[in-house]
Amino acid sequence: MTIESSEIEKIKREFPPFSLSRLLKTVFQPEPGEKICILIDFADPHEIEGFRFLENSGYEVQIRAHKHFFQGLKNGVLGELQLQGGDIFAYQSTGGSNLDLPDLAITPDGREISLEKDVYSKYDIVLCISTDSATAPLTAHAKKVGFRGATLHGINDIILSSGLAVDYEQVSKEAEKMRRGMTRADRVIINFEMGEQSCQLTLELDKQEAQKSHGLCRGKAADVANLPAGEIYYVPKSAQGDFPLQYDDGSIGRMEVNDGRIQKAVLLIGHQETIDQHNAKLESDPVTGEIGELGFGTQVLPPSGKDIQDEKILGTLHVATGRSDHLGGHLTPDLFQEKMNATHDDILFSPTKTPSINVPKAVMIKDGEEKVLIENYQPVYMRTLLDS
């Protein structure tokens, strides 16, 4: 997605300017003396030495992390919030969503350090601004060691000007309204349409408590916020039916789901080779097809071209496959046959990400009543809850 400068200017008029101080105060309510650091990633983490990556146009996410977060901390925010640290470290990119992070990290002066020994146990607040999401591994380390953190992968100018500029007190309040109205549901049934093709996926929720990603990560409880935040989500107990999946190369397959997992992919549009590769992965490592999340966006935001924000937009929904331990699910990395398969992959359905796939209805069944959550990517019952 190409971001036009005129589009950025329009968004800036609709949202308050990005403020690192406001974001940190709202999300963490840090206490004086707490120590904060930033993690970024590269294929070669030595790119951080002498900040030489700043001369490379291929590191847009890392350059924004340096400009808006590292320099922001050093140029006043540390003092304003009475924080310590403000250090930045680089690790080797994992190559996949929510894969475990390597332990080795590099400092700007070229020293090798251990994330386990020198970062997780030494800092109170850890900001991970990376290429791929690190929410699952960072959450696991936070609960083990006791820090708080936030993951902000793939940030671009639209995200900085909107999703990271909002008032997360208000985001949290609105998410809680929707969480209360959607909690303890029996199941959700999602209908999909793509031309003459139609699919229906039923996700069994078993009256579980709905959870919210609302952006607040306060107090002493170890936790990691995923920013931009703003969604209601569940870890389905099971699932059956089928749904379309749009692959990175534009191919679309129909996922046949039973017993909570994708059992087989069938080509609808595109390249059979793409489908064959997916089926080979499902056969060799079946848990890669497990449905580990059902999520609904709760915020009114502009599309950014990045799933990290676009899945938080009210009217969108996503299902995810793979790792689910960071959401309260059972699927941990050790249950995968291959280490590189232990990802958590969101499959977003939205009018901008999947324009050829419509969601005519997503219906929640709760206590024998049906509530239409979303219709044609427009919030229905969710809007009612928001306006209540």
Average pLDDT over residues 187-192: 98
Main-chain dihedrals φ then ψ at residue 43, nearest 5 degrees: -60, -40
> Residue 77 has which token pair?
């925010």
Distance, CA of 213 to CA of 232 (rounded, Å): 6
pLDDT at 121 over 60: yes
What are the beta bridge partners of residue 12?
A: none
Distance, CA of 310 to CA of 348 (rounded, Å): 8
Three-point CA angle 124, 161, 378, nearest 5°: 105
Q: What is the pLDDT of residue 220?
A: 81
Pairing of strands 125-128, 148-151: parallel
Domain boundaries, the chain: 5-161, 168-387
Q: Is 167 helix (H, G, I), strand (E, B) or coil?
A: coil
Q: What is the pLDDT of residue 13?
A: 79
For the stretch 344-364, pLDDT in tens is 999 999 999 999 999 999 999
**113 and 122 Cβ atoms separated by less than 8 Å:** no
CB atoms within 10 A of CB 233: 21
Distance, CA of 266 to CA of 279 (rounded, Å): 9
DSSP annotation of 119 reads I
pLDDT at 6 over 70: no
Dihedral Cα 70, 72, 73, 75, nearest 10 deg: 120
Average pLDDT over residues 165-173: 97
For the stretch 227-263, pLDDT in tens is 999 999 999 999 999 999 999 999 999 999 999 999 9
- What band does 176 get if pLDDT is binned at 50, 70 and 90? very high
- What is the Rg, in whole angstroms, of the alpha carbon atoms belonging to the chain? 21
Please compute, for residue 19, the number of CA atoms within 13 A of its CA located in the half-sphere on the CB side.
Answer: 14
Burial 108-117 (b: 16+ CB within 10 A, else e): beeeebebee
pLDDT at 12 over 70: no
Distance, CA of 41 to CA of 115 (rounded, Å): 13
- C-alpha distances out from residue 317 to 100, 110, 134, 320, 348, Å: 26, 43, 21, 10, 6
pLDDT at 8 over 80: no
**Residue located via tokens 């983490």:** 45
For the stretch 325-342, pLDDT in tens is 999 999 999 999 999 999
What are the beta bridge partners of residue 41?
A: 91
Distance, CA of 79 to CA of 328 (rounded, Å): 37
Pairing of strands 369-375, 378-379: antiparallel
For the stretch 66-94, pLDDT in tens is 999 999 999 999 999 999 999 999 999 99
Closest CA to 88 of 35, 154, 39, 147: 39
Distance, CA of 92 to CA of 338 (rounded, Å): 19
Distance, CA of 115 to CA of 104 (rounded, Å): 6
Distance, CA of 162 to CA of 165 (rounded, Å): 5
Main-chain dihedrals φ then ψ at residue 341, nearest 5 degrees: -90, -10
> Residue 246 has which token pair?
């749009």
Q: What is the pLDDT of residue 39?
A: 98
CB atoms within 10 A of CB 32: 8
**40 and 48 Cβ atoms separated by less than 8 Å:** yes
Cis (ω within 30 of 0) for the bond into 137? no
Distance, CA of 96 to CA of 353 (rounded, Å): 19
Q: Is 88 helix (H, G, I), strand (E, B) or coil?
A: strand
Closest CA to 171 of 313, 305, 370: 313
What's the mean pLDDT when you consider all of the chain?
96
- What band does 161 get if pLDDT is binned at 50, 70 and 90? very high
- What band does 221 get if pLDDT is binned at 50, 70 and 90? confident
pLDDT at 1 over 60: no
Pairing of strands 197-204, 238-246: antiparallel
Q: What is the pLDDT of residue 209?
A: 98
Amino acid at 332: T
